[in-house]
Structure 1
Amino acid sequence: MNTAQFIPEILTENIEKANFTWQTPSNIALVKYWGKSNPQMPKNASISFTLNNCHTITTIAFSKIERTAEVKFDLFFEGKEKEEFKPKIAEFFKRVQEYCPYIFNYKMTINSENSFPHSSGIASSASGLSAIAMCLMSLENELNPSITQEFINKKASFLARLGSGSASRSIEGPLVVWGNHPEIAESSDLFGVQFPYKVHSVFKNYQDAILLVDKGEKVVSSTVGHNLMHNHPYAESRFTQANDNLGKISEILQNGDLEAFVSLVESEALTLHAMMMTSNPYFILMKPNTLEIINKIWKYRAENKSNICFTLDAGANVHVLYPENEKDSVNNFIENELANYCQNKQFIYDSVGFGAKKI
């Protein structure tokens, strides 16, 4: 795999100060990745919807300094200095230093905020690390104006992946594949690529309502969960299943078979949690209200001949997916019934989005 393409050879410009702001989205995987090897390489390919409303806005102010042996940065989250977040970001900078050597020449002040609760299973690492990656690439573009937007997006995805695997899928949209797969052209373990085929119209502006069952921090971090796959008795079968499912959902996204979409997406969500429940140590990240919501969705779907379905990330919150032509009826169902199972009756209406935006 060619990582050398991301090492800058010539930086022609001298930039003393710069300031960049990016809004980058979270994403929700339809086919899940669970299990990785170093450095942040997926054990199976995955595909996600890029979201629109759930995002991180990050500003990085760069000030030129004498080159130092370690990266200098201050970190503020939602207006407050966050020392507890710094080790993860410091580790990210350590991983990308070979590809972004210019970061040793600058003091960085990072200001970040989310449009959703942090660490509650809405992929805050994905949106947060992708935003930092886009800011770094904005600086690199200033230092080397000859690089193309295509290269910027590819390298940003590559960099973001080194901080959070799912962050590689938050640069572009509306559908992004991460992980080498024989049926997806140009797919790679190194970065995400846009789904390369024409998507059926039923999946345009697809809706995702995120039901906040539990806004607290997850019981187990994704990093710990991924590591538990190394000795998992069902790991290899799971990796094979996920890659097979990606091939299946590729066809579904093209032919518009909503019944098959519902079945595959829900199976993927439950399989993800089954892997956590059968690891050692084992975890149950769903809450009682998660299961109540799932059963309510199944009942509603059967009674209304609906195409509503659910998916889950590594947490208790439920993503309710449905086509735009069911928006009014499903939203009524959410507000009148499902909201009762959410913490403080809170949920977020979202839909498929198109990736990072410079502000």
Structure 2
Amino acid sequence: MTVAITPDSLMWIAHRPDIVFTEGEGSWLRDRDGKRYLDFVQGWAVNSLGHCPPQMRDALAAQAAKLVSVSPAFYNEPAMQLAQLLAQHSGLDKVFFTSTGAEANEGAIKLARKWGRMHRGGAFEIITFDNSFHGRTLATMSASGKPGWDSLFAPQVPGFPKAQLNDINSVEALITDNTVAVMLEPVQGEAGVIPATYEFMQALRELTTVRGLLLVVDEVQSGMGRCSALFAHQLSGIRPDIMTLGKGLGGGVPLGALLAREEVCCFEAGDQGGTYNGNPLMTAVGLAVLDTIAEPAFLAHIDARAAQLAAGLQRLVERHGLIGERGEGLLRALVLPGDVGADIVSRARELAPEGLLLNAPRPNLLRFMPALNVSETEVEQMLEMLDELLARVG
């Protein structure tokens, strides 16, 4: 007798549509009823090379046949190779691997506080920003400026005063003897795809340098080619002291990273660790992803598709009387005239014969995070489907 597979045993954490996906390839997903969906969410910018890319499949199979897991108390070749490449591409010196972006951000907070204890008389406060998002651990939720999170699991972890993005005076006003660092996303993704201006990033780098503070960039969502450069802060021509990665680094497998300048690395034995950190299976996949994305031709492809997407969204703005579009690279948003984002997302899934997967992180906004290798035809198809949806809700 066949027993139906249901979600009843999964802990409830979110409203999920009554869809069960079973297969994916590139920019497309298929549910267990056989319907296809054009995916412009890609696991919230996780699937940098789309669903089931051959580079990842091959890397998983090859590494699984050699070594799956070894204690992080020992070295393994994929972790060392990936660390070397990340250091080379970022201009930072040392890498600590994690399983998630939130874990990488937690490590960045710990590293900054340890450095503050050693070099700034015990300074521990890290200035972060209103509407920022750094993860779902207690410390990273406290660092985040997402509305309502200050009381969700109260009391918060102290030490995260909030400044205003793109307002350098608001940052300077918060600096005290207790300040050790400033931490930000180059593009605030969950807030609605709000980029830090290049001028602000440069001013922030100058301010932190002059005041002897660390600059921490959270590139969990904006990094790994998502914003047309390998790392979004590179668009501003700056180098941070600490950088965190996640999501697109693993391309769909659990992998994150904490990178730092040599002078900042002050962990001692036992300060930092984790059972799966630097796992050879995951880092072998990360190596395949990075090798693909870092190619100049691939980054040029991202830039071309980003220009196509931005121009197409702007046409929809003008045609339907919307507020505007914004973003960097293939992390973009369409600002709507009313709180119809959730309605459009729902209607998009129900399109026939093929559905469309979109995301609305704010009621009046749609966010687009396609695979970085999305095709010109697929971008155009998404724009046509969205045009139809906007006409319906208009």
TM-score in terms of structure 1 length: 0.28
